[in-house]
């Protein structure tokens, strides 16, 4: 293609280039020349400066050393302090993936360690952090990310060709259709269309709806959505109400790229596999199997925060920190040559927390924003974080002091780590010696957090790097994973139980509720959103009985809600975020909230910002330009 021909003009005649290929929106140059492989920086700088494309130079099969010899060289070069775990060779890509406990020890000062590895092996090294917690689930997820590099090479080249396809341009228009998540919390899904492109943002399930019903899934049968014409899928973050149906797209024939951050990709694998397992354990059929998850992973592209990535001939994607959970992203789409800019917030938190930094507002242009409204109601106000911490700890200590147990229903991703971080701070003070039991997928998600500390707050990063102070490795933490171990918890003394699911819609929390709900000494503390119709919402609203496994039990335990732990922005934070955006939107659409909250927030934003706002319903199509 023409762009690859343009690259050739910059390459020295003695560079011995064997191939130039697309790798998604990037360009990779393969060389047989040792000198060019090791000394190509000036050439790459010129290409990047002139063509505005990311470029990487890698060795061809004629150049790099035999795999086992190269592995041995890495082991000789890398110090013991690095905690070298494994070296994965990908000959078709000319890459080696080096996994170590301390990547910085492999990289070296100013990249000196990587330079030495390149010179000694003539392979292109890539370093990944090994989780500080052993987890078979995380190991399996990471295995999937490096499978079949030959397929990846061809797939990414095909993606690159399609991105650069010169389609005919007609009338310039942009349309967005809500296929789920409008005037409700759950099954988030939006379709963005232009004359040239079709891009899907999120495809989740509604956790509160009956499994297998239309209400459980987005409107993937909408007339404007044809999977054969779909160019790209973007996943904002790894919660089931945003990712649950993405593997289904691949089952039904979609074969294109999925864009998200690395933590989101890995969590997607874990949560989707858990979703299948949970469905089977309840005698239900999941809408897809593990082969569909594998298809999705093999086609996933993981840009860094702030990295501008071409995803179609007329759309550029930028992901930025959303502050919601690890790897969560605000999705910015630049359409055409300045035609329109869309900001889809997914779920976001405009407040720094124990684990994460606040959502990013640095977007140069935003014409249309689609914002969540989970806590967008007139009376929705988060408790100040410090005050929330005090309230939570006061209730915990009150319960423990009288000999009771504290049950905290949490999502495996996000809220569980926030609560654990707070409890870890108490443990650091050496006077909090009660056991903290974690059940469900929380341990596996904790492991993943230790693999991606760069996505966490500076405070937690520092603790993870120090390891002995890591909130995930405290001596008081006890992982529960079997019925027998749960029975021991029931019979034990005071303690805190962090367990899934966060809305009591399934998972081990139901076993704890069944066995501990009748004792008035115990307490259940709600720290997250309870979906309308969920058992958690009913108990939160005062239900004194609950039906579990076909039997009705009395709910005598104390119930308490602490709102300050939410990973969502409240009404004022949403307003502040909208006002503080570098570029004020011309139009705001509200979604991901109960009907009344979507309308209330839209009305408030209209009055405050004096711009066009609306609360579309599912299947509405909005022309943006």
**pLDDT tens-digit profile of 303-333?**
999 999 999 999 999 999 999 999 999 999 9
pLDDT band at 564 (very low <50, low <70, confident <90, very high): confident
- Residue 135 in domain: no
pLDDT tens, residue by residue, 388-401: 999 999 999 999 99
Q: Is residue 219 part of a domain?
A: yes
Q: pLDDT tens, 241-275?
A: 999 999 999 999 999 999 999 999 999 999 999 89
Q: Return the pLDDT at 481.
A: 87
Q: Same structural domain for residues 72 and 94?
A: yes
Write the burial class of residue 75 (CB in 10 Å: 0-12 exposed, 13-18 middle, 19+ buried): exposed
Residue 384 maps to a domain: no
CATH number at residue 121: 3.30.300.20
pLDDT band at 620 (very low <50, low <70, confident <90, very high): very high
Same domain, 179 and 252: yes
Residue 361 lies in a domain: yes
Same domain, 435 and 508: yes
Provide the pLDDT for residue 382: 84
SS (H, E, C) 499-511: ECCCCCCCCCHHH
The CA-based dihedral angle spanning residues 49, 340, 352, 398, taken in that order and rounded to the nearest 10 degrees: -150
**Is the pLDDT confidence value at 560 over 80?**
yes
Check whether residue 359 and residue 477 sit in a common domain.
no
Q: Which residue has the tokens 């249309």?
A: 368
Among residues 327, 325, 260, which one has the least CA distance to residue 296? 260
Over residues 192-209, mean pLDDT: 94
Residue 302 reports pLDDT greater than 50: yes
Q: Is residue 315 situated within a structural domain?
A: yes
Q: What is the domain extent for residue 526?
A: 389-565
What does 239-264 look like in DSSP terms, one character per residue?
-HHHHTTHHHHHHTT--S-EE--HHH
State pLDDT tens for residues 217-246. 999 999 999 999 999 999 999 999 999 999
User: Residues 6 or more apart from 60 whose CB is under 8 A from it?
Assistant: 18, 19, 30, 31, 32, 94
Q: Check which CATH number belongs to the domain holding 532 and give it.
A: 3.40.50.10890
Instruction: List, in sequence order, every residue forming a beta bridge with 369; answer none if it has no partner.
Output: 343, 588
Q: How many domains does the chain have?
A: 4
Q: Percentage of residues in the chain with pLDDT exceeding 90?
A: 81
In tens, the pLDDT along 530-550 reads 888 889 999 999 999 999 988
Whether pLDDT at 463 is above 70 = yes
Q: What is the pLDDT of residues 130-173, one digit of tens each?
A: 999 999 888 988 899 999 999 999 999 999 999 987 654 445 89
136 located within any domain: no
- Identify the pLDDT of residue 430: 59
Coil vs helix vs strand at 161: helix
Residue 166: predicted pLDDT: 63
Grade residue 528 by pLDDT with cuts at 50, 70 and 90: confident
Residue 198 lies in a domain: yes
State the Cα–Cα distance between residues 21 and 397, nearest whole angstrom.
60
- Assess whether pLDDT exceeds 80 at residue 383: yes
pLDDT in the model for residue 281: 84
Same domain, 420 and 447: yes
Same domain assignment for residues 352 and 375: yes
Are residues 233 and 296 in contact, defined by beta-carbon separation less than 8 angstroms? no
Whether residue 552 is found in the same domain as residue 599? no
Better-scored residue on pLDDT, 603 or 207: 603
Which secondary structure element, helix H or strand E, spans residue 552, and what is its range?
Answer: strand 551-554
pLDDT band at 433 (very low <50, low <70, confident <90, very high): confident
In angstroms, the CA 184 to CA 178 distance is 11
Q: What is the pLDDT of residue 66?
A: 95
Residue 559 and residue 462 share a domain: yes
Least confident of 187-196, 206-215, 505-514, 576-585: 206-215
**Is the per-residue pLDDT at 197 higher than 80?**
yes
Looking at the structure, do residues 398 and 475 belong to the same domain, yes or no? Answer: yes
**CATH assignment of the domain containing 592:** 3.60.15.10
Do 15 and 96 belong together in one domain? no
Write the CATH number for 23: 3.30.300.230
Could you tell me if residue 138 is inside a domain? no
| Tens-place pLDDT, residues 96-119 | 999 999 999 999 999 999 999 999
| Last residue in a domain, options 565, 590, 605 | 565
Mark which of 530, 565, 600 sits at the end of a domain: 565
Average pLDDT over all residues of the chain: 93
Say yes or no: 466 and 539 in one domain.
Answer: yes
Based on the fold, state whether residues 362 and 443 are members of the same structural domain: no
pLDDT tens per residue, range 29-76: 999 999 999 999 999 999 999 988 899 999 999 999 999 999 999 999
Nearest alpha-carbon partner for 465 in 476, 479, 449, 444? 449
Tell me which of 11, 41, 59 is where a domain ends: 59
In the prediction, which pLDDT does 171 show?
56
Q: Read off the pTM.
A: 0.92
Query: pLDDT per residue over 401-411, tens digit each?
Result: 999 999 999 98
68 sits in the region (left: phi over 0; alpha: psi -120 to 50; else beta) called: alpha
The pLDDT value recorded for residue 170 is 46
């Amino acid at each position: 293609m023409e762009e690859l021909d343009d690259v050739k003009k910059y390459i020295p005649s003695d560079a011995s280039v064997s191939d130039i290929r697309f790798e998604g929106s990037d360009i990779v140059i393969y060389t047989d020349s040792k000198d060019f492989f090791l000394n190509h920086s000036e050439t790459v700088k010129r290409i990047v400066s002139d063509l505005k494309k990311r470029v990487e130079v890698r060795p061809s099969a004629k150049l790099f050393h035999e795999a086992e010899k190269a592995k041995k060289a890495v082991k000789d070069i890398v110090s013991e302090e690095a905690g070298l775990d494994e070296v994965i060779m990908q000959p078709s890509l000319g890459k080696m993936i080096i996994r170590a406990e301390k990547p910085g020890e492999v990289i070296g000062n100013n990249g000196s360690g990587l330079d030495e590895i390149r010179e000694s092996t003539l392979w292109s090294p890539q370093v990944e952090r090994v989780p500080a917690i052993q987890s078979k689930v995380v190991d399996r997820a990471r295995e999937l990310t490096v499978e079949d590099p030959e397929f990846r090479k061809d797939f990414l080249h095909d993606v690159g060709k399609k991105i650069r396809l010169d389609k005919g341009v007609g009338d310039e228009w942009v349309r967005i259709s809500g296929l789920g998540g409008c005037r409700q919390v759950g099954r988030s899904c939006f379709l963005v269309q232009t004359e040239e492109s079709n891009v899907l943002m999120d495809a989740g399930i509604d956790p509160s709806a009956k499994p297998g019903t239309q209400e459980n899934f987005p409107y993937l049968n909408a007339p404007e959505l044809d999977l054969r014409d779909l160019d790209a899928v973007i996943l904002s973050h790894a919660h089931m109400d945003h990712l649950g149906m993405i593997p289904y797209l691949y089952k039904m024939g979609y074969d294109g790229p999925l864009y998200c951050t690395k933590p989101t990709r890995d969590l997607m694998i874990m949560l989707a596999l858990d979703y299948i397992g949970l469905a089977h354990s309840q005698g239900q059929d999941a809408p897809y199997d593990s082969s569909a998850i594998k298809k999705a992973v093999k086609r996933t592209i993981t840009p860094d925060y702030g990295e501008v990535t071409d995803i179609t001939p007329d759309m550029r994607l930028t992901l930025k920190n959303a502050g919601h959970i690890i790897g969560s992203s605000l999705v910015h789409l630049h359409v055409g040559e300045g035609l329109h800019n869309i900001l889809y917030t997914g779920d976001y938190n405009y407040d720094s927390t124990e684990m994460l930094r606040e959502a990013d507002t640095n977007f140069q242009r935003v014409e249309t924003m689609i914002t969540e409204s989970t806590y967008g109601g007139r009376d929705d106000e988060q408790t100040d974080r410090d005050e929330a911490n005090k309230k939570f700890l006061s209730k915990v200590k009150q319960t423990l002091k009288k000999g009771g147990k504290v049950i905290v229903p949490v999502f495996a991703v996000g809220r569980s780590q926030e609560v654990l971080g707070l409890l870890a701070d108490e443990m650091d003070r050496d006077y909090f010696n009660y056991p903290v039991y974690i059940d469900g997928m929380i341990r596996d998600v904790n492991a993943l957090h230790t693999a991606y500390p760069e996505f966490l707050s500076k405070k937690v990063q520092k603790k993870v790097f120090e390891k002995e102070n890591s909130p995930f490795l405290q001596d008081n933490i006890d992982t529960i994973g079997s019925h027998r171990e749960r029975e021991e918890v029931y019979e034990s003394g005071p303690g805190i139980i962090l367990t899934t699911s966060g809305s009591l819609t399934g998972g081990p929390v139901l076993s704890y509720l069944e066995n501990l709900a009748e004792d008035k000494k115990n307490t259940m503390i709600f720290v997250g959103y309870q979906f309308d119709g969920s058992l958690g919402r009913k108990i939160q609203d005062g239900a004194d009985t609950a039906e579990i496994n076909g039997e009705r039990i009395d709910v005598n335990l104390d119930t308490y809600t602490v709102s300050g732990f939410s990973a969502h922005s409240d009404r004022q934070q949403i307003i502040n975020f909208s006002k503080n955006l570098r570029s004020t939107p011309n139009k705001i659409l509200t979604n991901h909230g109960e009907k009344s909250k979507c309308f209330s927030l839209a009305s408030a934003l209209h009055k405050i910002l004096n711009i066009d706002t609306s609360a579309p319903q599912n299947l509405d199509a909005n022309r943006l330009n």
